[in-house]
Amino acid sequence: MRKFIIWCLLLVASPILGQNLQVPNTPAFSILDYEPSAVMRPSSIKKLSNDILNSFDADGKLIMNLGLEVSPYWLKSRDTLTREQYLKPKGFQTFIQTLSISAATVKDSLTNKNNLGLGFRVQLVKGQLSKEFYKHERLLNNYETAVAGIAVTRAMIGISVNTIDDALEDIKTNLDDTKLEKKEKEEIRQLAEELSKKYKTKPSEVREYCEELINYIDQQTTTLAKKVIKLEQQRTGFSLEIAAATKFGEVETGQELQKFGFWLNANNYISSKDAWTITARIFGTDNGIKTTNSDIGFGYIKLGDNFNVALEGMLRWYSTDFADVNINNESITRVERDFTYRLATQLSYSLYDNISFNLSLGKDFESATIKKSSFFSLFGLNYSIFNKQEDLYKK
């Protein structure tokens, strides 16, 4: 009943995360309106070279339905990079650390033509880390220290540790030397005492006892590590990023530019879950009808544990060139220039990690070539097969 009420409230309140006001994660995929069935994310120069070679068939033609996303700076190890530089980059360091280049290929199901998308995304100002980040990072470091202490106990088996009682006492002593909070120390002590009842005094069982305790704490550190990665991305204060992408379509003479996009996005996160955002973007298409849209948008975004809510508005100045005939029935190119706007409230409710329910209500842009009501109500499911935070953690 509680979940049902929450669902009703979310639907009535309408609402979410305004994709229109966000720089796309992978501009090359966005410009194609397509998420490839296979995405390569090389983490070294060697893997990048192999991925590029494997993107061509035996005849030297690009394989379709492939995607590539690469961060050039992270293709090699950065032994001299300090923690301070990584977490709080400035100026050019921010640029090179956050630069991401993407590419994708897709075969158009309607025209049977091959399309290629290229793009990049980069942050110019990264924002500030939250207090919650430092809290979880401290806890993660302390748990790792606790694991190191138990590993020392395991190494002393047969030397100063010969029984389960010896191991338990040594673990408690090592815990006292860590900077874990009282509650955290007590949790590990209680677990250590409970586990000790399962084992006898054989050296092999003392070792199993230490390893089981280590495995339990490792599970806690894994959960914390994922949380720290997530919080590192959810920064507060001002941030600024840009992105660009182009789409090339296959024609008889080769490839021609059919679409381009440029995004400039500024966010001011009041907290890690509340943000004002302003975006500027330019889009151009040439698929028989030439269209250029220049947009300025603004909005407010609220991030919840399982849902996101956004209120957004966008002003658009557009120019459209399309074939027409004059009063003499002669072929001409008509140019339409006008102003329109979009106002919307959006909601996204997360059902699972990569599946969300989305609802949008509002007034959409008007177009020179499509005459219809600009008021809309849209809902549906969104599924993403990619989890970048998980990829980062595995690295």
Dihedral over alpha carbons 118, 292, 107, 100 (to 10 degrees): 20
Given this model, what pLDDT does residue 387 score? 41
Return all residues near 65 (Cβ < 8 A) that are at least 6 apart. 36, 37, 38, 105, 106, 107
Given this model, what pLDDT does residue 280 score? 95
- Rounded to two decimals, the pTM is 0.72
Given this model, what pLDDT does residue 391 score? 40
Extract the residue ranges of the chain whose pLDDT is less than 70: 1-21, 252-254, 353-354, 368-374, 376-395
Given this model, what pLDDT does residue 94 score? 94
Tell me the sheet residues that pair with 297: 279, 314
pLDDT digits (tens, 9 = 90+) for 50-97: 999 988 988 888 889 899 999 999 999 998 999 889 999 999 999 999
What residue type is 372 in one-letter code? K
Given this model, what pLDDT does residue 20 score? 58
Specify the length of the chain in residues: 395
Do residues 355 and 364 make contact, with C-beta atoms less than 8 angstroms apart? Answer: no
